[in-house]
Structure 1
Amino acid sequence: MFTRFEMERFQSIYENEVDFNLSDSGNHPMSINDLLDKDEIEKFLSMEIYYGYTQGDPRLLEVIKDWYPNTNESNILLTNGSAEANFIMAWTLIKPGDEVVLVLPNYMQVPGLAKNFGAEIKTINLKEELDWHLDLNELEELVTPNTKLISICNPNNPTGAVMTDEEMTAIASIARTNDAYVHSDEVYRGSELGGKETRSFVEFYEKAIVCCGLSKSFAHPGLRIGWLVANEKLIEEIWAHKDYTSLCASVLSQEIAIKVMTKKTRGLVLSRSSEMLNNNLNLFQSWLDSHDGLFTFVPPQAGGMAFVGYKMSINSMELAHKLRTEQSVLIVPGDCYGMDGYLRFGIGSHSDYLSQGLELVSNGIKS
């Protein structure tokens, strides 16, 4: 039976039907005027809309590689959003009967793909009592020489936890011992709240496959620009699969992405994201404090989301629908991650919008 992507379907059905959408995990999008100057806009408007490079515009590959030490253009494959990147990675690597280790909670696309591609799945959960970090001894026991792939999300969706260098080194060692690939979804890299940027897993392991894109930390979801970073041989193999999907990304989106990923602009965009998230996290924490004893919360270290446990006798999906229908505010239920009793709040919007949305949540849980 085909496994549906429940969280994505939940959001896509309802996010445009509510007054306040607090289900998004990215930062509030930027505009063309925010990014391009007058001359750049004129150049953009005069562009011819041709097919682009299937691997990605060489100018874009060059600025992307600068974000990944010791890589070159041949280590990168451009995709239509990080969702396509995850899909063609899974399509390339996961065959029926392959053993796949999933670190949960996680963005649930790869878990769903692994099931649909016939993998033998093992799971290991991040632990709230460890501030949403892994028990590495448990992981070491779980991974075997039969393991084809270990899939992580770092910074993590939905908890916002960030792995330390020591944790990534340990995971790389476990994978290397068992000759397993490590897939690392890194779309929240760059939106760290503490100022220190997370290192990419590609720096730690020769069989890492990193997925990233412009939708979350970079605040340009509508461009649908993503990419994979891996060793050259694996990129070639995944590229062969991409020839059967979207062929290439939009030349218009790539032109804007080149500007986003240049070092100077990249720094400005990510600073904007971190500043917005830090301010909103303080606002969110104050809101939680006003409901003393009702929630449990480990503050995120990165990303535009807050994963909160609650002490109410109602299923999380039921609670999300109650808030949607009665208050016109949308929040992701923990059920979408297989974790009833939790809610994921998006905190990447403008602060006044977030504040109004949270007020509606307060009204909903009191009723």
Structure 2
Amino acid sequence: MDFALTEDQERLRDTVRRFAQAELPALAREMEETDEPVPHAMVKRYAELGLLGVNIPQDLGGGGLGALDAVLVLEEVAKISPSVAFPIFESCFGPALAVAHFAGEDLKRRIIPRVCAGDMILAVSMSEPDAGSALTDLRTRAVVTGDRVVINGQKRWCSGAGHADAYVVYCRMSDDPGAKGIGAVLVEKGTKGFSFGKREKLMGFRGITSADMYFDDVEVPAENVVVPAGGFKKLMEAFDLERCGNATMSLAIAASAFEYVLDYVQQRKQFGKPIVDFQAVQLRLAEMAMKTEAARLMIHRAVVNAASGLPSVKESSMAKCFANEIVREVTGAAMQLMGGYGYSREYPIEQKMRDGWGWGIAGGAIDIQKVNIAAALVNRRFDQRR
């Protein structure tokens, strides 16, 4: 068992780190103030550097590397801000994986190369007003008639809503109950009958849009079906890797908060000496470092064990759950160590705390991950309805 990165992986990580630290901090600050998404010019810059679709096959326009390489890239960019990293997250861990793995050849080759080239932003739409954690209660319906699919319904909590160019929409595609009737269809922005509600105002995630989405007799070609009815298991297999992306966002926030406060406590003086000389501070630093490194190892284990496939639900849920919890603890400790400065918007820790809290809600709440873990441990699903 080798925990070391290869020379190529170290080179990739260091190259992305230099780019991120040189070119992204000013943009991240601007996005935090304006709440506007990553500009198209920067998305194209990501594409030029090979940061989009790192783990997508080369014949689809991606980098052809592994999921661990994608994790390394995402962590370094998300250390600056998860908002500036969001296009990378969506192209490496989100709906792009579902399309690349499960869609028909025509749809793959129409969509994925555009995502990797920075010409299309792809988002996933899962939740509904009455179906969040209870995802199999979806009511948005897609009816296949000949060569067309007609979609009706409402979606909620879609990150990227209104800004993304296309959406992988989870919907009910047959009369079979529960998961058996669920599939997914790709819908492009601008399609007749497809509209967006008022943009949500969130505690964090500034620069990542979110809004309700409405489907009123929306028609798309039948080839836009990503997974037909009965394919819910496939969709959730792709979502296992998205959990690792979510976990990496949490890790990046925790790691950057730790790195910032580690420097701070060596510079800040009280009672005539740097506060790092106080044992209480030393204990907090050690705890923060252990939690951050443990989260990194769990994420790396999940994606490495998946090899060329997709991670297991157990390992991806463990990685997400742990990273979601420790980012709240690490950013909280960082704020406490900085005192009033940590609470000030002039310093980055308060933003990291706000952003860090959200990842334990997005992509499946922390307690849902614990249910997944328990189910994997006893090798059976738990019926929450009875």
TM-score (ref. length: structure 1): 0.27
Q: Which structure has more RCO (C-alpha within 8 Å, separation ≥ 6)?
A: 1
- Greater helix percent: which structure? 2
TM-score (ref. length: structure 2): 0.26
